[in-house]
Amino acid sequence: MRTTEVLLSEKPFVHEQAVLKNTRLGTFTEVGMSNFVENSVLDDYSYTGQFCFIQNTEIGKFSNIAAMVRIGPTDHPYERPSLHHFTYRSQMYGFSEQDDVPFFEQRESRIATIGHDTWIGHGAIIQPGVTIGDGAIVGSGAIVTKDVPPYAIVVGVPAKIIKYRFPEETIAALQRIQWWNWSYDTIKDRLEDFRLDIEQFIEKHDGRVETDATSA
């Protein structure tokens, strides 16, 4: 659900009360109200809904992320004598002059990857290090603990594949076309093609050489 309408541009649009740390935003991106995004990338045309919490994540182009999504939740050190963060945030308690740097480095290295043209449903949780393939859908409230193949639809706790959006040959064709790398002008010019039947779209564009595609 959108609470406000904005006109997007090459300059990212960040809603009020959103906090971004060490994060890169692409063109035509939108960060929802009261988001927290850290050590992450939100590539071109992707957006997040309200109250999302995203850490250590690379999000591709045209990703649709609903409200209250959690991606890359950080772990407590359950193998230690105590789970509590005084063991790694020691400065907060005056126990040490330095926090546990190796622990934080290890945690930040577990990158979650969200592919292009994905849809992450309301309240979904995607664990650290998980890859969501291009075109995949994660159902509302799902908890994703394993990689999701391209164009799969997963739901539940833990998330499981219920079906694929298209047959294998259609998925392969879409991955060959990689329309998400088309330039702004190309997408604008071919907007009506995205309203075609999927087979008509593939027939028109599979095997076509793009001379103006970008990978920015």
Residues annotated as catalytic are 76
Residues in the chain: 216
Cα separation, 146 vs 26, in Å, equals: 27
Cα separation, 30 vs 46, in Å, equals: 7
How far, in whole angstroms, is CA 60 from its chain's centroid? Answer: 6
In the numeric block, the tokens 């929802």 are attached to 32
| The pair of three-digit structure tokens given for residue 75, joined into one six-digit string | 């772990």
b/e string for 181-208 if b means 16 or more Cβ within 10 A? ebeeebeeeeeeeeeeeeeebbeebeee
Query: Which phi and psi (to 5°) does residue 21 adopt?
Result: -130, 125
